[in-house]
Structure 1
Amino acid sequence: MAINLLSFIKNNLLKFSVFFLFLLSSNSYSQCAGEDSSVTICDIANPTNSNINLFSLLGGSPAPGGIWVDNSKPLEESIFNGFLNAQALRNSGVYSYTYVQDPSSCTDNEATVTLIIGPYAGVPSPNVSTCDDVESFNLFQAFDGTKLAPQQNGTWKNSVTNAPLSGNTINPKALGEGNYSYTYTIPALDTCPEQSATVFIAVFRKPKSGTPSDLVLCSNADLTLYRNVNLNDLLLAEDAGGRWTEAGTNELTTLSDNRINVENIYNTLGAGTYNFVYTVLSSNPICTNSQSTVQIVIEEPLNFTGSTLIVNSDICENQITTATYNAILRRGPQIIPNGSYDVSYTIFNGTTTNFRIVNGNFVNGNFVFDIDEDDLQAVGDYTFTITNIVNTASRRACTNILGTISDVLSISPLPRINNATVTIEPICKGLDAQVVISGNTNLANGTYRVSYTLSGDNVAASQQIDFTATNGVAQFSIPATLIPNVGVNTVLNFTNIINLTSGCSNPVALSKAFTVKPLPNVGAVALNANNICLGHQDVSVQLSGLGNLTNITVDYSLTDANTLLNQNITLTVSAGNASFTIPASALLNTGNTTITLNSILDNSNGCSAVVLNKTRTFVINSIPNAPATNSFSFCKNDLRTIANLTPAGAQYQWFDSVSSTTALSTSTLLVTGTYYVKEVNPTTTCESGRTAVTVTVNELDTPVLDADGQNFCGLDNPTIQNLSDRTSADDELVWFDALENGNQLSANTALAEARTYYAYSYSSTTNCYSDPLEVTVSLSNCDVPDDFFIPDGFSPNGDQKNDVFRISNIEFIYPDFTLEIYNRYGNLMFKGNRSKTEWDGRNSDYKIGVDGIAPNGVYFYVLHFNKGNKKPTQGRLYLNR
Structure 2
Amino acid sequence: MAKNYFNFLHFVLFFIFFTILPTQINAQCAGTDAQKIICDIENPANETLSLFSLLGGSPTPGGTWSGESNLKILDPTTGILHPQLITRGGTYRYTYTVPATSGCTNNKAVVTLTIGAFQGVGSQATVCNDSNFFNLFTAFDSNSMSPHSNGRWTDVNGRTLTNPSIYIGDITEKTTLQYTYTVPPVLACSTAEKSTTVFVTILIAPKPGTPENLDLCGTTDLAGYTNLDLDGQLTDQDKGGIWTGPGLTSDTDHNVNLKELFDISGPGEYTFTYKVLAVPDNYICKDKSSDVVITLEKRIDFTGSKIVATKDICESEISTATYSAKITEGPDGIPNGEYIVTFNVNGPVSGSEDVRVICVNGELNFHIRSAYFQQVGKSTITVTNIVQVAGKKLCTNIFSPFSTDLNVYPLPRLNGATITSTPTCQNKAGLMQINAPQLLDGNYRITYNINGDNIATGETAIIKAESGKASFEVPRNLNVKSGLSVITILNIVNITNPSPQCSNTANVAGNLIINPLPNATTVSVAVNNYCLNDPVSVAVSGLGNLTNVKISYTLSDSNSAALQTVTQVVTNGRIDFIIPAGLLLNSGNTKITLLNLTNMVTDCDSDLINVSDDFIINPIPVAPIATDQKFCKVDEAAIANLEPKGSQYKWYNSATSTTPLAATYILKTEDYYLRETSAAGCISEATKISVIVYDTAAPVMNDTPDFCGLANPTVQDLSNKTNVAGTVAWYDAVNGNLLPSSTPLVHHVTYYGYDLDGNTNCLSVNHIEVVVSLQDCDTSQYDFFVPDGFSPNGDNVNDTFRIPDIEFLYPNYTLEIYNRYGNGMYKGDKNKPAWDGMNYEQSGIAGGIAPNGVYFYVLHFNKDNKPPQQGRLYLNR
What's the TM-score bracket when you normalise by the shorter of the two chains?
0.3 to 0.5
TM-score normalised to structure 2 length: 0.33
Which one has the largest radius of gyration?
Answer: 1
TM-score normalised to structure 1 length: 0.33
